Amino acid sequence: PAMTSPSTSAPEVVTRFAPSPTGFLHIGGARTALFNYLYAKGRNGKFLVRVEDTDRERSTEAAVKAIFDGLSWLGLFADEEPVFQFSRADRHREVANILLETGHAYRDFLSAEETGALRDAAKAEGRTFESPWRERTPTVDDLAKPHTVRFRRPADAPVVVEDAVQGPVRWDSASLDDLVILRSDGAPTYNLAVVVDDHDMGVTHVIRGDDHLNNAARQSLIYDALGWTRPTFAHIPLIHGPDGAKLSKRHGAQAVHEYAEMGYLPEAMRNYLTRLGWAHGDDELFSDAQAIEWFDLSGIGRAPARLDFDKLAHVNAHWIRLADDDRLAKLTLDVHLARGHALGPDDEARLMRAMPFVKDRAKTTLELADQTAFVLKSRPIPIEGKACETLAGDSGERIGRLRDRLALFESWDVFALEAELKAFAEEEGVGFGKIGPAARAALTGGSASPDIARTLSALGREESLGRLNDALQQTI
Ligand code: GLU
């Protein structure tokens, strides 16, 4: 008979992002999601999302939506339907019962007041609180009374978590009290729910903020009691603000959607966030494919990473340069519309024509909007006082001759325009410095714009000639 050899392949890697829907997706959460995503994708594994909505008071629909909006903006899609933790409460209670049956949990009939008093007394004596019900067997009468269910921590064995980032971390089990796993109303508590869900979802790697390190100790004990294999834990240092202090409201820019509003591209955010607390040599700019290939837990640093907006701007500028013009034109149009611009039929085409001339110089899509505002103006465009002065006298007359010359010029290609402008300057016997300011004043009203050949090219022939005519009528 054929022998089936035992499988030696490692189990499929499964990671998850487990946000609590109590607010927007913040930048730390986004990075956690990204690390989990990259780790799974680089190993042919699965990336899952679990919404930890067990806190019914604080969880909201709006927050669930904000989190999914943030994740999809970042392009971090889960490989399966998201799990909502609250919907699994029956399963959590079932596992609590297994723990009761195996003696790893007990029923605690202390009232909240009694618990508080005993806890205070224990604290005063420097002991860990312990309910007397840990050692008592309830009678049938007791069982009818309201009670919580507590996990029974193993007596006096140290708990060690082999953390992939922090190294081995030890706790005295005496320092961890017996955790409530079911409240008196039967509601499962957080640490029980997380263990049951991670186990049932087949999660192999738990990558999350190091504010959860203590939970890892408690969760490990629950895994052990159930005879379940612990996942690999990787607790990453939280993100700090540019000043080195913990990220707080004071720093602003905490929510992912704020970064979108500040004009950052999602691929730039992914690139920047991947580098925030993780390194692959000196590589700063890399693609998603490279991030997926390179990302590992050993590259995660133990020191908190600091937000650095200059670096982010640099990364963003890189991805703007590489982005398609039509995509940038749409994003830039959105910025103009948000700034109150009234949509015109030709806007997108004009922005498309301008994009190649501005995308090398913009760090954000807001800057793309600043630098393209000139193309969206509608005729006759207002000309600022200072710009108006450049059109006075001689130089205004010269703009008239330029208009006449361009009116005969058909090829509106930027290189042809450059040559034509050069020929015009030569014919006039002046340097381009005598033409540029007046031409810009007439063509843009004094707004920022690229050089004149590019400005003409971005505006298109008809619009350029129209603006030159308008300016000559206004000023001469
Ligand atoms: N829901 C927890 C949080 O939002 C995360 C728990 C976990 O990743 O295990 O902080």
What string of DSSP letters covers 126-167? Answer: TPPP--GGGS-PPPHHHHTS--EEEE-PPSSPPEEEEETTTE
Query: What type of residue sits at position 74?
Result: L
Any atom of ligand 1 within 6 Å of the Cβ of 184: no
Any atom of ligand 1 within 6 Å of the Cβ of 16: no
Any atom of ligand 1 within 6 Å of the Cβ of 212: yes
**Could you tell me the distance, in angstroms and rounded to a whole number, from the CA of residue 368 to the centre of ligand 1?**
37
- Whether residue 263 contacts residue 366, with contact meaning beta carbons closer than 8 Å, is answered with yes
**Could you tell me the distance, in angstroms and rounded to a whole number, from the CA of residue 44 to the centre of ligand 1?**
24
- Give the whole-angstrom CA distance, residue 219 versus residue 199: 11
Instruction: Indicate the pTM of the whole model.
Output: 0.93
Please give the positions annotated as active site.
249
Handedness of CA 274, 22, 96, 99 (dihedral sign): positive
Any atom of ligand 1 within 6 Å of the Cβ of 208: yes
pLDDT in tens, 336-363: 999 999 999 999 999 999 999 999 999 9
> Tell me, what's the pLDDT at 305?
94
> Tell me, what's the pLDDT at 8?
57
Q: Which ranges of the chain have pLDDT less than 50?
A: 1-2
> Tell me, what's the pLDDT at 7?
53
Secondary structure letter of residue 188 according to DSSP? B
Index of the ligand 1 atom closest to the CA of residue 194: 9
**Could you tell me the distance, in angstroms and rounded to a whole number, from the CA of residue 175 to the centre of ligand 1?**
22
- What is the side-by-side order of every strand in the sheet holding 105-108? 105-108, 148-151, 180-182
**Could you tell me the distance, in angstroms and rounded to a whole number, from the CA of residue 19 to the centre of ligand 1?**
5
pLDDT in tens, 456-472: 999 999 999 999 999 99
- Give the whole-angstrom CA distance, residue 172 versus residue 174: 5
- Whether residue 248 contacts residue 270, with contact meaning beta carbons closer than 8 Å, is answered with no
Q: How far is CA 392 from CA 276, 386, 445, 472, in A?
A: 54, 11, 14, 10
> Tell me, what's the pLDDT at 1?
45
Handedness of CA 104, 107, 113, 114 (dihedral sign): negative
Any atom of ligand 1 within 6 Å of the Cβ of 20: yes
